[in-house]
Chains A and B, each alone.
Chain A
């Protein structure tokens, strides 16, 4: 069974760390202000707006130390990753989860942070939050649906999301744990110790900026590694800024997904508000949800 970290209460502390790409402090200011407005204390790790001059928010040692400190510190109740990018692959095998397992806390993020979610689910069976990160609070985002859902998820409220019908949806109702995240990361984790089992779960997928043929290849990798055949259901989130080869691939991303799972009969929905698009609601990974897909639309409720 999945272990849920304690939900947050006013006065609790949230650490903001950047285990992957660089994020200037000012890009996190709205996030910090909002979290404080909600009644939380915010701890800023040295990797947020640090002195890095390259792609990463700091060297491997600095990123590892900052994340490790946040995981270990009993006074930190949740860890919000400032942004994704790339970088967790480089430190994941050196993170010590001993204290985190003793005192689980919510780890929040998406995109490259998928690696952390999957690793924690696969190895420690602790729920995490696939949710917007610091930049989502900017440009008025602090009052928007995405950020509001993050607060609801953190504070233990029931989550209830809906999305519009899609011609490729396959109807059905299932109750099962959620798992998933960024498709490229899930493919990258296949064959490693960080790959979470998908059997009996509702898998959600999203991606950004990939070539269509590569989406196809990654889905086939999931399929061929046994990650698509025993699902309880599939949620296709947003797939945005996709690229095509000079010779067109000849199928849309929805068609690619539909074809990759045509051998199975579980319920499937498309266009769910999760991913790098405008809508990206908070999802508790590892936690059971009720997914209902009908001709009228889709609902996903936490149980």
Chain B
């Protein structure tokens, strides 16, 4: 998606024509489900009505915390300044500036900071400062009861996929898959247009004034079609490491998006097989393949397949639409997605992803 398209979509609703959902696609997927484990304890909430946290109003507070990797106070300043220029207040948590090896503080410190932001009624959204690794250390110890009572937006991606999946699976509260503080440019004037547009899409997602709309460049390996469903997914490796746990997501009837970075092709292949073997590919409504930064094969270990080949092979038996190189992932162009919220995906001469819930006007 280029900036021009993005801004068009920000400015006007109804840029797309009417979208026909081809119901026959789902009927065509009557392939037997692969054997997989009994549904996990977390999956039951995924059938409950979706809770959408209140959209943010001018003056609302956004907490910044580090459930995973560390960040300095200085490093969050570009995000703080920009978010405050949008009319929101920012509240830097106690983990900002803390460092315990790779983490933004010890497990106890990160847990306490995140918990206090969940419980603080003045904080309407929690922006994770960066990914890295560490959210899985907190997830089972967090008390989400106040989030359930007073939903708020949890924002992040990469390692934060743990929290987005867990919240979707157990609480069915919408969240935001988005760039984080470490991706905000020091010098806004020198930032690439797609980076600017990606960050502005977070503002749009938080404000809720308009439906989210995305356009992507068609890829020759795309599989055309139309789909409707909740938008779920995230970092592929992280999704794999949640399998078998209570944070694992059910993808049936949903639009799944995946992205990853730094993985070998054989590992990406294994992860797509894992999606299949855990029953996450056969009943999808649609598949969005975001950015994949591939680690080059070791000499003599040439895998001989691209990411396009790997995905095409895995989704072969199913009929749903598939698109590649969608602007989501570890890259400058990484738009904010409302996680768990219903969207329509149309893959054709154009690729359009559109939020389907009615906009909440404030």
Contact = CB atoms under 8 A, between A and B. Distances in A.
A89 B273 contact: yes
B58 to A, nearest CB: 38
B244 A225 contact: yes
B102 interface: yes
A140 interface: no
Given A86-B270, A192-B243, A221-B243, A213 B34 contact: no
Interface in B110-139: 133, 136-137
Interface string A209-236: 0000100111011001111000000000
Contacts of A221: 136, 241-245
Interface string A84-108: 0010011011000000000000000
B277 A93 contact: yes
A218 to B, nearest CB: 7
Given A93-B35, A249-B101, A250-B101, A224 B246 contact: yes
B36 interface: yes
Contact of B37 (A86, A191, A217, A247): A191
B253 to A, nearest CB: 19
B30 to A, nearest CB: 18
Contacts of B259: none
- Most chain A Cβ neighbours within 10 Å, of B37, B137, B244, B269: B244
Contact of B277 (A86, A89, A225): A89
A62 to B, nearest CB: 14
Contacts of B244: 190-191, 195, 221, 224-227
Contacts of A86: 266-267, 269-270
Contacts of A247: 70, 101-102
Interface residues of A, number: 34
B102 A224 contact: no
B52 to A, nearest CB: 28
B241 A249 contact: no
B198 to A, nearest CB: 25
A248 B102 contact: yes
Contacts of A168: none
B260 interface: no
Given A217-B136, A250-B102, A192 B277 contact: yes
A190 B35 contact: no
A77 interface: no
A245 B102 contact: yes
Nearest to B240: A188
A194 interface: yes
Interface in B23-64: 34-37, 40
A187 B277 contact: no
A192 B302 contact: no
Contact of B241 (A187, A250, A251): A187
Contacts of B133: 213, 216-217
Interface in A171-185: none
A55 interface: yes
- Most chain B Cβ neighbours within 10 Å, of A54, A191, A225, A245: A191
A230 to B, nearest CB: 15
Given A55-B303, A250-B102, A224 B245 contact: yes
A93 B33 CA distance: 12
Interface of B: 34-37, 40, 70, 100-102, 133, 136-137, 140, 240-248, 266-267, 269-270, 273-274, 277-278, 297, 301-304
What are the 7 tightest A-B residue pairs by CB atom distance, in nearest-first order?
Answer: A250-B101, A225-B244, A190-B244, A191-B243, A54-B304, A193-B35, A191-B244
5 contacts: A55-B304, A89-B274, A193-B34, A193-B37, A250-B100
Given A89-B270, A188-B240, A217-B133, 12 more contacts: A55-B266, A89-B269, A187-B240, A191-B243, A191-B244, A193-B35, A193-B37, A213-B133, A217-B136, A225-B245, A249-B102, A250-B100
